[in-house]
Amino acid sequence: MNIAVFASHGGSDLQAIIDGCKNNQINARVSVVISNNGNSMALQRAEAEGIPAYHLSANKSGNEEALATEILDILAKYNVEMIFLAGYMRMLHISVLEKYNNRIFNIHPALLPKFGGKGMHGMNVHTAVIKAKESETGVTIHRVNAEYDSGEIVAQTTVPVLKNDTPEILAARVLDREYEFLVEVIGDIVNGYKVSDKNGTLLCTNIKGIDRSGYHIPISQYGDGIETILTKEQYQANCYKVGGEEC
Ligand code: GRF
């Protein structure tokens, strides 16, 4: 599967995703990286890995609509199926959200719905967590919709807040966990079931709450090498067998 990563600054999450793909923890390839910041380390990291990297912004394109058109053209060019926002500081245009409905995910360094929303990024998040005297924080991976940090939560992990934490110390602890967690969850998202019935109706929600509506399941995963659309019964059988959970 081809995935795109959008990032604005350091691209350390991007690097974790690239490495996760390289060592087969994520069964996908980062086909393109997009940044709104021409000087970002994220673009440099992509280039160093030989991944096509684009600096795109409303300023450069002229306006938000023109930017969205450029983004969609690039995503189409690289046959991108899913998008991961890893420290991307801009809201995506509705046309991108609609085209990739349910297939855009964001990584947030706190336990949403707490400590999310406009302005809640970077050190602001960790400062707010400490100020609120939380005993734990964490990482959330969620679907992206038209409001900051409010799409469906796909997966969360917790990280303790310790007595003498500064925002910087806490940020480092969260980030450390984040690298490992995002590889695990993105792995589940892209490696998992790709299921729809013939009408595109969601058959079931699989482990960790990740649905696969609109996708086909490659039966090759289970041995015979033929890609097909599963019946509900087949899917449930596979889901039970592989996921260990009832659908
Ligand atoms: C992390 O805090 C992540 O949760 C957020 O961006 C930060 C990673 O930045 N979305 P980067 O990958 O080093 O640019």
What pLDDT digit, counting tens, does each position of 108-120 carry?
Answer: 999 999 999 999 9
**Nearest-CA residue for atom 7 of ligand 1:** 87
CB distance 93 to 65 below 8 Å:
yes
State the catalytic residue, choosing from 9, 108, 121, 126.
Answer: 108
Q: Which residues line ligand 1 (CB under 6 A)?
A: 7, 9-14, 42, 86-87, 107-109, 178
Cα of 13 from ligand 1 centre, angstroms: 6
Q: How far apart are CA 221 and CA 213, in angstroms?
A: 18
Q: Which amino acid, one-letter code, is at 161?
A: V
pTM here? 0.80
CB distance 231 to 119 below 8 Å:
no
Active site residue 9: no
CA-wise closest residue to 118 among 150, 81, 77, 92? 150
Q: Compute the half-sphere exposure of residue 214: CA atoms within 13 Å on the CB side of its CA.
A: 9
List the pLDDT tens digit at each of the 247 positions of the chain: 899 999 999 999 999 999 999 999 888 999 999 999 999 999 999 999 999 999 999 999 999 999 999 999 999 999 998 899 999 999 999 999 999 877 889 999 999 999 999 999 999 999 999 999 999 999 998 889 999 998 877 778 899 999 999 999 999 999 999 999 999 888 877 765 444 444 444 443 333 333 333 333 333 233 333 334 445 555 555 543 333 344 4
Q: Which amino acid, one-letter code, is at 192?
A: G
CA-wise closest residue to 186 among 233, 147, 154, 222? 154
Of 8, 12, 13, 177, the one to substitute when testing ligand 1's pocket (max ligand atoms within 8 A of C-beta) is: 13
Cα of 134 from ligand 1 centre, angstroms: 21
Q: Which amino acid, one-letter code, is at 115?
A: F
Per residue in 39-94, pLDDT (tens digit) is 999 999 999 999 999 999 999 999 999 999 999 999 999 999 889 999 999 999 99
